[in-house]
Amino acid sequence: MAVDKVLLAAPRGFCAGVEMAIKALAWMVRAFDAPVYCYHEIVHNQSVVKRFEDLGVIFVDDVADVPEGRPLMLSAHGSAPEVVAAARANGGYVVDAVCPLVTKVHHEVKVRAGKGYRIVYVGHEGHEEAVGTMAVAPEAIHRVENVEEVAALPQFEQPVAMLAQTTLSHRDWKGVLDATRERFPELWTPGRSDLCFATTNRQGALAEIAPRCDAVVVIGSANSSNTVALEKLAREAGTARVHRINSAAELPHDLSGVVGVTAGASAPESLVEEVIAALAPTGGVEEVAITNEDEYFPTPRNLRELLSGIDLLATLSLGGSVPDRPAADERSIHAADVLASL
């Protein structure tokens, strides 16, 4: 390769929801004997999932596959109400690591359906988040992905609301929103967008660097909706070459000139570092930042209370006193560091 320079998009990589989910599963691995179970992939990234599998975590697509009494985590993408109920009925310790932004959409679905609305939901077919959201009120919700599907919707007699999968591209969402408003002029939408701020920020950062690049490398897995949206955005920006990769090993060997690098919201920074090292830009790396993200989502309360209890017992058993225990500062602990320490 003859790469002159790397333009590094910021923000990139782990979002607040992914940080929370990875730390939560890591704490469960430390608190319980193996195996710990997880309903669906904790996040959509091959390297993260493989790391947890190496630690004895078993990922399942049906909670019925979890042996009775075993600890179980529900993934960040959100689960159908009946899945949550079945998990809790199984007798094991259950931690629901759903992203708070997805919880917000679930709440909006429940409220709007309860008020008699028909809900137009913009989401990808088969995506775990979309499946879980639609299950909140299946009798009231209609999933669409594009303006053609909006045109095919029936003419509802009830009031109409519109909600969205959090990881959609803003461009895709806007087109469908406009088409739905045209069909249903009295359309209700939430006061605050359902689209994840981290997804929007990563797309904005990529849009800033793409026009300056001869090629763009997007780091993340094919089943990551927000990663695929980044890849699509780079192509729509007219970048000559766009490559989505899982790791540095998948980099093409003939890249040259200025290469842009970004990462989906579930891709660890270690992958970014490996890619930059492999690109070996002769002119160095320029980070292009459009905003500073400082959002923080704490791990689920029941898990924090469990860990606090374990910590207290350990302190007392070693002869320590409760007032001497340092306060836990989970916010300052980064998920990437937690993964590396396991």
Reported as a single tens digit per residue, the pLDDT across 46-84 is 999 999 999 999 999 999 999 999 999 999 999 999 999
3-state secondary structure of 8: strand
- Report yes or no: 16 and 296 within 8 Å, Cβ to Cβ: yes
Percent of the chain with pLDDT over 90: 84
User: Tell me, what's the pLDDT at 164?
Assistant: 96
3-state secondary structure of 339: helix
User: Tell me, what's the pLDDT at 316?
Assistant: 42
Q: Residue 286 has what DSSP assignment?
A: E
**Which member of 41, 108, 129, 231 is catalytic?**
129
Helices then strands, each counted (H, E), the chain: 12, 12
Length of the chain: 342
Task: Give the relative orientation of helices 100-114 and 16-31 as an angle to the nearest 10 degrees.
Answer: 110
Which pLDDT tens digit goes with each residue over 233-275?
999 999 999 999 999 999 999 999 999 999 999 999 999 999 9
- pTM for this structure? 0.89
Closest Cα to residue 229, out of 268, 205, 197, 264? 264
Confidence band for 323, pLDDT divided at 50, 70 and 90: low
User: Tell me, what's the pLDDT at 325?
Assistant: 46
Closest Cα to residue 87, out of 64, 107, 106? 64
Q: Which domains does the chain have, with CATH numbers?
A: 2-14+198-289 (3.40.1010.20), 16-99+297-341 (3.40.50.11270), 100-183 (3.40.1010.20)
Give the pairing type, strands 215-219 and 241-245: parallel
Going through 220-275 in order, the beta strands assigned E by DSSP cover 241-245, 256-263
More confident residue, 173 or 182: 182
The answer on pLDDT for 330 being more than 90 is: no
- Report yes or no: 9 and 205 within 8 Å, Cβ to Cβ: yes
53 is catalytic: no
Q: Residue 123 has what DSSP assignment?
A: -
User: Tell me, what's the pLDDT at 319?
Assistant: 53
* The two structure tokens encoding residue 323: 């007032």
Distance CA 36, CA 93 (A): 10
Distance CA 234, CA 261 (A): 11
User: Tell me, what's the pLDDT at 329?
Assistant: 72
User: Tell me, what's the pLDDT at 328?
Assistant: 59
